[in-house]
């Protein structure tokens, strides 16, 4: 795979890889970040593919579309004439497609499914399931039409941090089961792509203790397994407040009075409590940010979207991720 040897950033997006694997602890917004990245990388006339593999239909929910089929479909236009396409990979369908491609199964493939063979195969050997899922992602990433790559970038909404190492480490899982044969060959091809500069694994986190801890753990695991870690993406950050001491009740009372607001004891005490909690939260966030900085990886902070992640919000995130030059 000659193309795998060169990191690809012909468009100067600042994201030099062709396959972007986005992981993160559950609840950190990795699906939104993956979608925003696909949107950002498609801007200016490029074409990207956004892939999900866990059967959650998170992309469809995010974009308010019908459930995605196992088929690459137009998802949305990107600013400047680009296009984001989407695909929900299903292990069973991928296996049938794979069998069809290599063995021209046709009706026999359908018979296999009727027998429950597909369900059986992907149940008893979960490693096989992951090879099929990642195999499809690899196929889309390396596919060419004519002289051109089918996609300028593929963004994978990957399993969460707790499962990411095992998910990507397909060769280890299948080596246990298949010592020779096409599954072995397939998993080795996937492994080569995932460990090449063509791939970057990005970890999404929040400035909260558990997500940061899992980010640190996942990066250690990924690095040890030899996967290229890209960026740490801090989601939902708030603008920094000017460093200062906590406001006193007396000060606040004067301020409220100047603003023509009530200065009764309950209001003042309530606001002081809020300010104190805010201060505690900010200090914790600063210390967590420090832990992330220590990882020595490029860090991107995305703003908290007060109105939730709607289409406009996704474009805001896309612009924050991929700076248009």
Residues from 298 through 317 that contact other proteins (CB under 8 A): 306-308
Half-sphere exposure of 271 (CA within 13 A, CB side): 16
Work out the number of other CB atoms within 10 angstroms of the CB of residue 119.
14
Secondary structure (3-state) at 248:
coil
178 is a contact residue toward other proteins (CB under 8 A): yes
Q: For the CB of residue 104, give the shortest distance to other proteins in the complex, in Å.
A: 10
Q: For the CB of residue 67, give the shortest distance to other proteins in the complex, in Å.
A: 14
Rounded Cα gap, residues 154 and 138, in angstroms: 9
Q: Smaller CB distance to other proteins: residue 213 or 316?
A: 213
131 is a contact residue toward other proteins (CB under 8 A): no
Q: For the CB of residue 281, give the shortest distance to other proteins in the complex, in Å.
A: 5
| Distances in whole angstroms, Cα of residue 300 to Cα of each of 21, 72, 243, 293 | 16, 29, 22, 10
Please report which helix (H) or strand (E) contains residue 199, including its range. Answer: strand 199-205
Phi then psi for 234, rounded to 5 degrees? -90, 115
45 is a contact residue toward other proteins (CB under 8 A): no
- Report yes or no: 164 and 158 within 8 Å, Cβ to Cβ: yes
| Distances in whole angstroms, Cα of residue 102 to Cα of each of 95, 105, 106, 122 | 11, 8, 11, 18
278 is a contact residue toward other proteins (CB under 8 A): yes
Rounded Cα gap, residues 114 and 23, in angstroms: 34
| Distances in whole angstroms, Cα of residue 21 to Cα of each of 3, 79, 91, 228 | 18, 23, 18, 10
Footprint (CB under 8 A) of other proteins, residues 255-274:
255-256, 258-262, 266-267, 269-271, 273-274
- x/- mask, other proteins, residues 151-170, rule CB under 8 A, reads --------xx-x---x----
- x/- mask, other proteins, residues 47-86, rule CB under 8 A, reads -------xxx----x-------------------------
Among 11, 125, 192, 299, binds other proteins (CB under 8 A): 125
100 is a contact residue toward other proteins (CB under 8 A): no
295 is a contact residue toward other proteins (CB under 8 A): no
Footprint (CB under 8 A) of other proteins, residues 183-242:
183-184, 208-211, 213, 241-242
Q: Smaller CB distance to other proteins: residue 9 or 251?
A: 251
Strands 299-303 and 229-237: parallel
In this chain, which stretch among 133-141, 143-151, 249-257, 290-298 interacts with other proteins, using CB under 8 A? 249-257
112 is a contact residue toward other proteins (CB under 8 A): yes
Rounded Cα gap, residues 200 and 23, in angstroms: 11
181 is a contact residue toward other proteins (CB under 8 A): yes
Q: Smaller CB distance to other proteins: residue 45 or 182?
A: 182
Q: Smaller CB distance to other proteins: residue 12 or 239?
A: 239
Rounded Cα gap, residues 286 and 75, in angstroms: 37
Phi then psi for 157, rounded to 5 degrees? -80, 95
180 is a contact residue toward other proteins (CB under 8 A): yes
Q: Smaller CB distance to other proteins: residue 16 or 113?
A: 113
101 is a contact residue toward other proteins (CB under 8 A): no
- Report yes or no: 141 and 154 within 8 Å, Cβ to Cβ: yes
């Amino acid at each position: 795979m000659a193309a795998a040897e060169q990191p690809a950033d012909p468009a100067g997006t600042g994201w030099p890889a062709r396959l972007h694997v986005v992981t993160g602890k559950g609840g950190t917004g990795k699906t939104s970040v993956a979608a925003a990245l696909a949107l950002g990388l498609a801007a200016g006339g490029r074409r990207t593919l956004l892939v999900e593999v866990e059967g959650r239909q998170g992309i469809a929910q995010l974009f308010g579309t019908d459930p995605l089929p196992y088929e690459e479909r137009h998802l949305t236009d990107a600013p400047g004439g680009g296009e984001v396409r989407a695909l929900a990979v299903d292990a069973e369908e991928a296996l049938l497609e794979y069998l069809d491609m290599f063995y021209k199964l046709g009706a026999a493939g359908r018979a296999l499914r009727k027998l429950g063979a597909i369900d059986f195969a992907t149940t008893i050997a979960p490693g096989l399931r992951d090879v099929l899922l990642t195999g499809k992602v690899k196929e889309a990433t390396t596919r060419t039409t004519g002289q051109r790559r089918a996609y300028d970038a593929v963004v994978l909404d990957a399993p969460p941090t707790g499962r990411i190492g095992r998910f990507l480490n397909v060769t280890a899982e299948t080596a246990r089961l298949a010592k020779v044969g096409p599954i072995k060959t397939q998993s080795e091809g996937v492994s080569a792509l995932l460990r090449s500069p063509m791939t970057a694994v990005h970890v999404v986190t929040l400035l909260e203790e558990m997500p940061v801890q899992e980010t640190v753990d996942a990066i250690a695991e990924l690095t040890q397994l030899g996967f290229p870690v890209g960026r740490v993406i801090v989601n939902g950050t708030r603008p920094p407040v000017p460093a200062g001491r906590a406001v006193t009740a007396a000060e606040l009372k004067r301020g409220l009075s100047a603003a023509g607001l009530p200065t009764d004891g309950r209001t003042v005490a309530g606001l002081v409590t809020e300010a104190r909690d805010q201060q505690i939260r900010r200090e914790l966030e600063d210390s967590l940010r420090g832990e992330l900085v220590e990882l020595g990886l490029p860090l991107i902070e995305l703003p908290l979207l007060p109105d939730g992640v709607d289409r406009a919000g996704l474009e805001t995130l896309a612009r924050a991720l991929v700076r248009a030059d």
